[in-house]
Chain A
Amino acid sequence: MFRRRLAGALAAGMAAAALLTGCGGGDAADGPVTLKVLTWEPGGTEYWKQVKTSFEAGHPDIKLEMQSVPFDKYPEVQGPYITSQSGPDVMANNAGLELFDRRGAYVPLGDKAAEITKDLVTYSGACEGFDTAKPCYGVPFSYQGNVLYYNKAVLTAAGLDPEQPPATWDEFGAACEAVKKAGKTCLALGLSGTFPAYWDFPEIARNYLTEDDVRALLAGKLSWKDPKLVAVLEKLAEITTKGWANKNAPSITMLPDGADIFQRGDAAFAGTIISDAVNWDAFGKALGDDKLGVTRWPAVDPAAPLAQKFSGIEGAVYGVTQWSQKKAAGLEFITWLAGKENGELWVKHAKGQPLNKNVDKALLPSSPAFQKIQELVAQPTLHAGVMLSGPEADALARGWQQVTLGQLTVDKWAEAMQQALERSPTKKQTK
């Protein structure tokens, strides 16, 4: 009896719901195609306003409907779209493993990839296994990676030469001792979240891994108990156990807390990124362009094959979704994203590093730090950070926090990393 009542109630509810929605929707209007684009607005609101205006001006038959979601809530919105195979026509994901994990959502570009991306410096981060011969799922237009920014005034006050920042691990240690004596923090650091994995790990990893090792890391075939990776963890641990970083590093996040320590002039160094924010532009504004120096992270082993290279990664990759009814328009939009016009918008409004080779050089900023970054990025290699799965990135941060607080040894940390790798659903090795 009760069940029948329940079923009746359900049916009534459904009917009411159907009635309510009946009047909504209605897609089949003539006129321009409306493209729904899911984005977290990398580069900022202003840049995306420009994208919409410029693209629509050149393509009167396509309207863009931006669905902006805050970056840290993006997975919660995107996840359900992907599992239900419904939603926007164009979506974004970060290049590397994040994109590969979601490749089922995107239409591979196929033969068109080479044509669309012909003017880009690199686009392998949008392709399976970083191999442009394999399927590529979208189009990047920005370049990202990590450098070490430094405050020349703090180095000078510590009796160091601001034009000769430390280039090796030992020099860096000596510099940190000097900075500490002068009463400042050496390296501004926050160990919460995924920043340690994406911002610090690749910089140390470059001293121990080859490009093949990095690909093995992506495939889940390199064990965390491998001496090379244990050595990376040991060096990361040194940064905090030797007291080079701020005391509250284990409990703060790099953004905004860690970066703020550097911005207010309380730290000599900060390892952050080249595009978007907390970069040469933001720090230059806070400290003065002439006070801001930039260098590669110090090399543990300067002779290592990748030690003097730049771990670069394409920024957000935009792809057309499998379920879109407007795939042609979607393709047109992402093709435009890779082009010169958008590259110039990116430089101008997002203060970012463009991927398009043809961007007018006159548009590039004159900041000395930016010019120095141009030298650094000229020698690119793979970025080990974006090869880490979610569980690995999480375990890296938590392990580092505990090692810093003396609750964990580096060996146990390596074990935890290996367990995280084995738990990772997307790197599961088929038995």
Chain B
Amino acid sequence: MRSAVTLLSVAVVVLVQAVVVNRLPFGALSDGGPGPDLAVAAVVALALTTGPATAAGWGFGVGLALDVLPPADHAIGRYALVLCLAGYLVSLIHRNTGAPGGIGARTSRWFALGAVLLAALGVGVAYAALGVLMGDPRAGLSDIAVAVGLGAGLTVLAAPLVTLPLLWLRESLSDHEFATVQGPMSPGGW
């Protein structure tokens, strides 16, 4: 149930990114500038609610889907690699630093948004670095700075529409069976 709902909502997010967000006129801000990246927002929500390996898998899948969908402006696998690492690291750090709330407990909303910001910045830098490694001539330093900063800002603005609902969905459909079991009735009254 939980994974089916997650799969469906992630598919919707990826399609919305490819079909709706990519045709919005963000280019008006600065010629052909970046838009928000809903994929990062979704992967962070998943990474905050699963273990590192599963999060890496989700990141890989989401990234690959966006690689494959038009427009074909970069090599397939570039985004999958970056998002896979992002999912893994977010989940690993979340698990190991005892960030607010343990397993099964609710993640703080502000904490989630902070994670989205860091992840968006990291993904932006890693994607650009991969471009430099592969000899993509579009990656100039000032371009990267603008694209990463602006893109991360827009992603955080879009995150309340993606990350928070996904978090809520996954937490309320928790796999822990006792999460929905009511505590014992209070014996008061008699």
A binds B: no
Residues of A within 8 A of B (CB): none
